[in-house]
Amino acid sequence: MDALNSREQQEFQRVVEQKQMKDFMRLYSNLVERCFSDCVNDFTSSKLTSKEQTCIMRCSEKFLKHSERVGQRFQEQNAALNQSMGR
């Protein structure tokens, strides 16, 4: 990434966006899988019970908050690492 010309930059940006999209999909499917298997356990009705609904709300919020915090830390660590390596 030291000296990219503008065409390479566009290419790089595209790759980055693809990666992010991929990571987003991974996050999303992890969240759905996790919260579904943890919260939804009553299959006698086609609707979610209120208990299941609050559970899913809490589960997804916790999951997202956790990912946000870890993401922030990840970014920080990387920035520090880059700085120490002189980029």
Partner 1 sequence: MMGEFKHPPQEKQKMSSTKKAGYSNPAFAAMGIPALRLPGPKWCAFWLVVGAGIAGVVYDKREQRRICKHYSSLVKDQGAAHMDTWLKPRRLTVFVAPPPGDYLETSMKVWRRYVKQVLFEAGLDYEVFTEERQGVIRHEVAERVRQLRRDIAAAEAAEQRALDEKRWLNRMRSWWRREKLSEEELERIRAQKFRDEFTYKQLLGVFYKNAPLREQKVWDADALVEDPVLAGGVICIGRGAYKEYIAGIHEGTLGPLDPPTLTPEAPTELSAAAEDLTQAPEQPEPSAAAEALKQAPEQAEHSPAEPDSAATDAPDEKSNNAPAPPPAPYVSPDEYSSLSLSQELVGDVRHPSSHIPALFHQPLLVIPVPNLSGFLQTPRKIYRFYTRRYYAEECCKAAAAMVLQTIRPFQPDDLNLGISEEEDWPRRWVEQGRERKSEWVQDLKADPRVIAELHVVDPALMADLAATMNLN
List contacts with partner 1 (CB under 8 A). 1-6, 9, 16-17, 19-28, 64-65, 67-69, 71-72, 74-76, 78-79, 87
Minimum Å gap between C-beta 60 and partner 1 is 12
DSSP annotation string for 9-64: HHHHHHHHHHHHHHHHHHHHHHHHHHHHHHH----SSSSPPHHHHHHHHHHHHHHH
The smaller minimum CB distance to partner 1, of residues 54 and 80, is found at 80
The smaller minimum CB distance to partner 1, of residues 41 and 80, is found at 80
